[in-house]
Amino acid sequence: MRKKIIAGNWKMNTTATEGKVFIEKLLQKKLSEKVDIVVCVPFTHLCSVGKMLKGSSMKLGAQNMYFDENGAYTGEISPLMLLDLGVEYVILGHSERRSLFQEDDELINRKLQSALAHGLKPILCVGENLEERETGKVQKVLSYQLRKGFDNLSRQEASQVVIAYEPIWAIGTGKTASDEEAEETIFFIRKTMGEMYDSEFSENIRIQYGGSVKPSNIKGLMNMKNIDGALVGGASLNVEDFEQLVNYEL
C-alpha cells in the first residue's frame, strides 16, 4: 500500500529565526506516523532546520537545486550542498519555477536525473494553467510534462520520484479542484506512468495533489483512491493548520 506523503512548501517565506520557532512548535505536536512528513524550507533555513529535525520522523526538503555539483553558477545550489545539510527531498519543476523563471522540461529533466544520481528524492511538479484546462488540453499538457520529465530514467530511478499534480489555476488562489476533478486527473497521471513503465510501477508510484490544500478540504482529497498526499503551500506556514493536515485521519 502506498504511504501518504504530506509536504509543506514554505516558498520564500519566514526568516531563518522564524523558521526555527516554527519547527520548535511543530516538534512539540503529536504527529501521525501514518504519513511521511516533509518540510521544504528556504535555502537559508536548511542548516538550522536540518539539525532540529534529526531524530524526528519529519524529513527535510529543499525547494529547488541545480544539476551540476559545482561551478560558475552564481546564486545556485548543488545537490552536494543539499546532501551535506541532511536534505532528503527536493521539489523540482514547481509551476512558479516554470512560469517565473522560465524553467523548461529539458532543464527539469536534467535536475531530476542529477537529484536521483545523488540519492535525493525528487518531488516532480506537473500541472496545467486555466486556459489549458478550459480548452481541454489537460491530458496533453500532463502527458508531455511527464514524458519529458522522466526521459532517460530507468524504472528503478523513476520509482524514487514523487509526482505532485498542481493545477496552476488553484495555487495560492483559494480555488481548489474538486475531489473528483483531482482524482480523475491523478488517475490519468497514474495511467500514463503505467504506459511509460508498467502497471505494477503505476500502482506503486506516489502522486500528491497540490493547490490550496487546507484543513477544510484535506480529508475529501485523501479519501480518493489515487491521491497519495498533498504538496501544501500557504497552510504549511501555520503550525496548527499543518498539524491538522498531517493528522487528517485522527
- 196's CB contacts (< 8 A; 6+ apart) are 146, 147, 150, 158
CB 5 within 8 A of CB 38: yes
Among candidates 119, 3, 5, 112, which has minimal Cα distance to 58? 5
> Is 94 considered catalytic here?
yes
Going by pLDDT thresholds of 50, 70 and 90, the confidence category of residue 202 is very high
Q: At 89, is the pLDDT very low, low, confident or very high (cuts 50, 70, 90)?
A: very high
Q: What is the per-residue pLDDT across 35-71, written as a single tens digit (0 to 9) for each?
A: 999 999 999 999 999 999 999 999 999 999 999 999 9
| pLDDT classification of 14: cutoffs 50, 70, 90 | very high
Identify which of 171, 174, 155, 246 has the alpha carbon closest to the alpha carbon of residue 209: 171
Q: Of 234, 230, 204, 210, which Cα lies nearest the Cα of 6? A: 230
Annotated catalytic residue, options 94, 103, 128, 243: 94
Query: What pLDDT, on the 0 to 100 scale, is given for residue 177?
Result: 82
